[in-house]
Chains A and B, each alone.
Chain A
Amino acid sequence: MSTTVSGAPVVRRVEQVMGLPVSLAFRGRHAGTPEGEAAWRDAVAELRWVDEVFSTWRPDSQVSRLGRGELALVDCAPEVAEVLALADDARAASDGAFDVWLPDGQGGRRLDPSGVVKGWAVERAVAPLLALPGTDVCLSAGGDMVCHTADPEGPAWEVGIEDPFDPTGLVARVPLRRGAVATSGSAHRGGHVVDARSGRPADALAQVTVVGARLTGVDIDATTALALGPDGPGWLRARARTGVVVWADGRAEVVA
């Protein structure tokens, strides 16, 4: 069992949700207690609900039916409109490089809000865990995470940033007490981020990591910077973002 600087044991849980490994690390008063386990179950249940509504892999999800024009936005859960509004903001901020309406290769567009949903969903799902008194929490869905320490001056969570060319290695590390980290790249799924303006895979950057206060925003900005390619690091700096960019040639750069 790994321990922190202060010696509190880290308790870990992992579950497959939304086709992703969802990993929890917690330590302190309620790590592993019945209250802690109940909060973890609530977090997983929330992610499963999000998957049912938003999955593009499920033909019967509300988002799949909305994308095919079989369901109106007003007939979807109100959270669908909330996510699409976030996507609209991101499209405007990126001059169209980030868009949940992606070219489908046949002259049309298909709805894929995955670039917004994951971070937004984790930020919702972590709420019952953040409510555990005296407990430090880090909840990650497929590498995008919310970190929280009960004591704002307590030992930080130490977050490693994966090497996109070697998933057993790290390119950087960042200590984080209260905040979020998101990484976008093509390491595991092969060019799944496209520049929505051209429909082409975004391949100038191998990986973008953003650190910030709220996961919804840092997740969108990491994906947007990747889609912007060579303009991504400058775009992040203009938004006063902190993070790490790994270029396609393997060069790693801290953005601040």
Chain B
Amino acid sequence: VQVQLDVQGSTITNVTVLQYPSGNGTDVEINSYALPQLIQETLDAQSANIDMVSGATYTSGGYLQSLQSALDQVSAS
């Protein structure tokens, strides 16, 4: 895989795949997305200015304790 890296300072901010192995016919996409940034310290969604949370499937119980639930309440209250 040949990629183009966008670097700011010492941080890779974006990876664009220029070439990828010829696939097996499945839906390999040519990606150009900002790289996820790992978060080291504990942050809540609002102090991190997060709009939405991606997590594993919520049951109702798991959802009630989740950050997404906290976000959903913001405009409900």
B-contacting residues of A (Cβ < 8 Å)? 1-2, 4, 10-12, 14, 16, 19-21, 23, 25, 89-90, 92-93, 118, 138, 140, 142-145, 147, 156-162, 164, 167-176, 179, 181-189, 192, 207, 209, 211-214, 217, 237-244, 252, 254, 256
* B48 interface neighbour in A19, A25, A90, A160, Cβ under 8 Å: A160
Let me know if B43 and A14 touch, CB within 8 A: no
> For residues 25 through 68 of chain B, which have their beta carbon under 8 Å from a beta carbon of chain A?
25-31, 33-39, 42-46, 48-60, 62-63, 65-68
Contacts of A179 in B (CB 8 A): 33
Q: How far is the CA of A19 from the CA of B67 in the complex (A)?
A: 18
Closest-CB distance, A255 to chain B (whole angstroms)? 9
Q: Tell me whether B75 is interfacial, beta carbon within 8 Å.
A: yes
> For residues 13 through 33 of chain B, which have their beta carbon under 8 Å from a beta carbon of chain A?
15, 17, 20-21, 23-31, 33
Q: Tell me whether B74 is interfacial, beta carbon within 8 Å.
A: yes
Which has the most chain A C-beta neighbours within 10 Å: B46, B52, B74? Answer: B52
Let me know if B48 and A21 touch, CB within 8 A: no
Let me know if A25 and B51 touch, CB within 8 A: yes
Closest to A14 in B: B72
Which has the most chain A C-beta neighbours within 10 Å: B27, B29, B51, B59? Answer: B51
Let me know if B50 and A239 touch, CB within 8 A: no
Q: Contact residue range for chain B? A: 35 or more
Given contacts A159-B52, A170-B50, A217-B27, contact A140 B68 (CB under 8 A): yes
Let me know if A16 and B60 touch, CB within 8 A: yes
A-contacting residues of B (Cβ < 8 Å)? 1, 3, 12, 15, 17, 20-21, 23-31, 33-39, 42-46, 48-60, 62-63, 65-69, 71-72, 74-76
Let me know if B58 and A143 touch, CB within 8 A: yes
Let me know if A174 and B45 touch, CB within 8 A: no
Let me know if B45 and A160 touch, CB within 8 A: yes
Closest to A216 in B: B27
Contacts of A244 in B (CB 8 A): 36, 38
Q: How far is the CA of A151 from the CA of B28 in the complex (A)?
A: 26
Q: How far is the CA of A159 from the CA of B51 in the complex (A)?
A: 6
* B24 interface neighbour in A21, A92, A143, A189, Cβ under 8 Å: A92
Contacts of B43 in A (CB 8 A): 169-170
Closest-CB distance, A23 to chain B (whole angstroms)? 5
Let me know if B66 and A20 touch, CB within 8 A: no
Which has the most chain A C-beta neighbours within 10 Å: B34, B39, B44, B54? Answer: B54
Closest-CB distance, A85 to chain B (whole angstroms)? 12
Q: How far is the CA of A189 from the CA of B18 in the complex (A)?
A: 38
Contacts of A171 in B (CB 8 A): 38-39
